[in-house]
Amino acid sequence: MVNLSTPIEELPRVGAAYAKRLKKFGIKTIQDLLFHFPARYDDFSEIIKISAARHKLGQTACAQGKIIEIENSRTKKRWMAMTEASIEDDTGQIKAVWFNQPYIAKSLKEDDFVSLAGKISLYKEGLYFNSPSYERINNFDENENLTHTGRIVPVYPETRGITSKWLRYIIKPLLYRFAEQIPESLPKEIIKKYKFLAIQEAMWQLHFPETFEHADAAKARFSFEELFLIQLNVLKEKIKLKQKKSPACPMRADLMKKFTSSLPFKLTDSQKKCAFAILKDLEKSVPMSRLLEGDVGSGKTVVATMAALNTAKCGYQTAFMAPTEILAKQHFKTITELLLNFDVNVGLLTGKDARIFKKNETIEVSKKSFNGDLENGQLNIIIGTHALIQKGIEFKNLGLVVVDEQHRFGVEQRDKLIKNKKLVPHLLSMTATPIPRTLALTVYGDLDLSLIDEMPKNRKKIKTLVVEPKDRKEAYNFIEKEVNEGKGVFVICPKIESKKPGANGCPTSHQAGGMSDIPPAFAPQNYDLRSIALNEVKAVKDEYKKLSEEIFPDLRITMLHGKMKPKEKERIMLDFKKGEIDILVSTSVVEVGVDVPRATIMMIEGAERFGLSQLHQFRGRVGRSDVQSYCFLFTTDPSQLNRKRLKAMVDSDNGFELAQKDLEIRGPGSLYGTQQWGLPDMAMQGLSNIFLVEKTRTAAKELLEKDPELKNYPLLKERLLQFEKKIHFE
């Protein structure tokens, strides 16, 4: 029996070939297909007489008439197949022309009545419809139930072989058959409170709306529902976590005072507030889940070190995870310097290296020896990459996990660290990627937020300039002058996207700028990451060749890219830091958090290809001392959108302000690569609306307070389970 859970390949007119294409959208069942919502609408609702077409020249219009002639031919210049039809009504005649669609002449015949919708164009012989949408009608029947013309027409997300016309053709009969069977998962009290359409009505009005007002009402319902499900998901996780036990680590106020007094600088008020909130969380026996946000260079590592030191002196271990070996080694260096004379043993574990800092001395050890010290509790703070969660790594008494630049460190990874022990470690996640409030309340809604919104007092504002082609020479002269004064220069090469052969539905490079804000492991499946990496290496090599041979032949220039071995990357970064390299040409993977105080210029080629948040992070690689620093945004695309975005970079040095602007300009999907989280489009659009986000959060909180297990809402519980399978925040 055919029902909502029937696989789509069992539908007539779908079959295996179409089912395979639909699965690119995650569509596997009839219900999935009905929840594949339009991306936008074409307004073909006004039907005009043919004689009125002259008033619509250059515009889209809809008209109906009888075909008096139709034939295929070839164009003279490019020999393309052309289908030409003459259509008339009681006021006149007009032509319709389609290119490379010769089958239309077999589908439509003389004396057929048709409804056409498309752009009205002008040629020598007069007005014509340019490649219009069409469908047969019954002799100007005003009650005709039109699908592709004569109404507000849905336009869906498409892929190769799946057009909006085909989707309308398949979805409409399914709505007639199954719309009434779609279960209402939203609680009745919520539907009543917010005056939402019932799900069956909303489904019809979203796919085939009577008016744009009806479409908006349907969107409002589904946007709420999808954000509501996200909120339920994250708040349930929060409730579940609070039922677990963590080691309580009382705050050692005397120790913290001693530590801050030992620093060569004063903590900002913002750092003090964040450190206090974290240390108070660590005192509790329920697991902390906190996200520490702060602009590049705001001093997050010092705050995390305070938490790790307090944890160590309470007898528990801290795992400090970094995304790359270079950053892990930098954290090891920074933290060991901060903890000199505090009698704390610090370990470093990466893919190939194992080091231990003990009694103010660093020594290299074997992995076996390292693992033994770790398991025996001899190591207090362990810094590393994902090597920390590999097989064979055992902590004796892990009390705190600090994760840098991977804020959605997953439940699965945390389980690997604790190895099913009774006590769950506290979690502190750190990011320099500013997160707008709407995103923080939804996707990161299970994390408590701490914000470092001050920079160290001695930092000068980085001067940011947009450099167009005509100004390049002047910029190059300035860069050379800075180098001659002993300064260092970062050059970031443009992000170059690549798709697998035949992959569709991917954003273009300028749309996908936010892709590089996330780890490659989270990239959408239809991205060929190997080709992207190879293209970026080529971009670096081309830029290196241009700069070293044509622009700065007398300067010391070196390349850095992801295909290099970790040891080689580490050596290059060290040489750059010491002043043995003048200009470092890198891909967009230039290590997050790498600290090179002598670097005063960040030059970004193809700046328009990156998102504002990422440009801001690049800019934060310089300005790490009290010397004036500069960020040059080289661009070759003068479009209004890019001018607007790059001007925002020039005008603002506040990462959170820029993140909000990026959200408004590009939308959350591009900004954070949220398409790979599996979030539906309605949720994506809703993430831009703070009022909707707050409304759904309040509703989810109220519902879970009175029914944490959703026992009284079995349909909602089932829908939530289905939803959780599709989204993956890790």
List pLDDT tens digits, range 481-515: 999 999 999 999 876 544 443 333 333 333 333 33
Q: Give me the pLDDT at residue 672, please.
A: 45
Other residues' Cβ atoms within 10 Å of the Cβ of residue 48? 16
Q: Give me the pLDDT at residue 679, please.
A: 57
The CA distance from 236 to 574, in Å, is 46
The CA distance from 612 to 617, in Å, is 9
* Residue in the structure block whose two tokens are 């219900």: 31
pTM for the model stands at: 0.72
Q: Torsion-angle region of residue 70: left (phi > 0), alpha (psi -120 to 50) or beta?
A: beta
Per residue in 524-563, is it b (16+ CB within 10 Å) or e — as a string? beebbeeebbebbbebbeebbeebbeebbeebebbbbbbe
What's the mean pLDDT in 537-563?
A: 88
The CA distance from 82 to 97, in Å, is 7
Name which of 44, 43, 25 is nearest 34 in CA terms: 25
Q: Which DSSP string do the residues of 270-314 spell out, in sequence order?
A: HHHHHHHHHHHHHTSSS--EEEEEE-TTS-HHHHHHHHHHHHHHT
What's the mean pLDDT in 193-203?
A: 94
What's the mean pLDDT in 136-146?
A: 77
Provide the pLDDT confidence category of residue 455 given band limits of 50, 70 and 90: confident
Report whether pLDDT(593) > 60: no
Domains of the chain: 8-40+174-225 (no CATH), 46-150 (2.40.50.140), 227-243+686-726 (no CATH), 253-283+299-431 (3.40.50.300), 463-652 (3.40.50.300)
Q: Give me the pLDDT at residue 535, please.
A: 61
Other residues' Cβ atoms within 10 Å of the Cβ of residue 125? 7
Provide the pLDDT confidence category of residue 48 given band limits of 50, 70 and 90: very high
Among the ranges given (137-141, 395-399, 679-683), the one the predictor scored with the smallest mean pLDDT: 679-683
Task: Provide the 3-class DSSP secondary structure of residue 62.
Answer: strand
Beta strands in 455-542 (DSSP E): 463-467, 488-492
Q: Give me the pLDDT at residue 83, please.
A: 93
The CA distance from 256 to 250, in Å, is 12
Bridge partners of 154? 41
List pLDDT tens digits, range 687-720: 767 788 889 999 999 999 999 999 999 999 998 9
Helix (H) or strand (E) holding 438: helix 437-442
What's the mean pLDDT in 109-122?
A: 93
- Per DSSP, 113 falls in state E
* 8 Å CB contact between 585 and 544: yes
Q: Give me the pLDDT at residue 534, please.
A: 53
Task: Provide the 3-class DSSP secondary structure of residue 24.
Answer: helix
Q: Give me the pLDDT at residue 448, please.
A: 84
List pLDDT tens digits, range 410-420: 556 656 666 55
Q: How far is CA 216 from the centre of its chain?
A: 25
The CA distance from 693 to 224, in Å, is 8
Report whether pLDDT(538) > 50: yes
What's the mean pLDDT in 549-556?
A: 93
Report whether pLDDT(480) > 70: yes
Q: Give me the pLDDT at residue 511, please.
A: 32
Q: What's at 127, amino acid-wise?
A: L
Please give the share of the chain, as a percent, with pLDDT higher than 70: 85
Tell me the CA end-to-end span of the chain in Å, nearest whole number: 38
What's the mean pLDDT in 172-185?
A: 93
Report whether pLDDT(97) > 80: yes
Other residues' Cβ atoms within 10 Å of the Cβ of residue 499? 16
Name which of 373, 379, 383 is nearest 333 in CA terms: 383
List pLDDT tens digits, range 254-310: 999 999 999 988 999 999 999 999 999 999 999 998 989 887 778 899 999 999 999
The residue ranking higher by pLDDT, 475 or 411, is 475
Task: Provide the 3-class DSSP secondary structure of residue 626.
Answer: coil
Name which of 633, 488, 480 is nearest 560 in CA terms: 488
Provide the pLDDT confidence category of residue 519 given band limits of 50, 70 and 90: very low
What's the mean pLDDT in 148-176?
A: 92
Show the 3-state SS of 651-701: HCCCHHHHHHHHHHHHCHHHHHCHHHHCCCHHHHHHCCCHHHHHHHHHHHH
Burial class of residue 370 (count of CB atoms within 10 Å of its CB; 0-12, 13-18, 19+): buried
List pLDDT tens digits, range 597-651: 899 999 999 888 887 878 888 888 888 777 899 999 998 876 776 788 888 889 8
The CA distance from 220 to 105, in Å, is 42
Burial class of residue 724 (count of CB atoms within 10 Å of its CB; 0-12, 13-18, 19+): middle
Bridge partners of 457? none
Provide the pLDDT confidence category of residue 123 given band limits of 50, 70 and 90: confident
Among the ranges given (85-89, 249-253, 549-553, 688-692), the one the predictor scored with the smallest mean pLDDT: 688-692
Q: Give me the pLDDT at residue 301, please.
A: 93
The CA distance from 469 to 446, in Å, is 46
> Strand 92-99 relative to strand 126-137: parallel, antiparallel, unpaired?
parallel
Other residues' Cβ atoms within 10 Å of the Cβ of residue 72? 15
Name which of 620, 622, 592, 588 is nearest 605 in CA terms: 588
What's the mean pLDDT in 327-337?
A: 91
Q: Which two tokens stand for residue 631?
A: 């960020």
Report whether pLDDT(522) > 50: no
What's the mean pLDDT in 661-666?
A: 70
Q: Give me the pLDDT at residue 364, please.
A: 92
Q: Give me the pLDDT at residue 589, please.
A: 64
CA distances from 435 to 30, 296, 443, 654, 671 (A): 36, 13, 10, 12, 10
Report whether pLDDT(571) > 50: yes
* 8 Å CB contact between 83 and 97: yes
The CA distance from 462 to 596, in Å, is 15
Show the 3-state SS of 162-192: ECHHHHHHHHHHHHHHHHHHCCCCCCHHHHH
Provide the pLDDT confidence category of residue 141 given band limits of 50, 70 and 90: low
What's the mean pLDDT in 358-375?
A: 91
Show the 3-state SS of 314-340: CCCEEEEECCCHHHHHHHHHHHHHHCC
The CA distance from 222 to 230, in Å, is 12
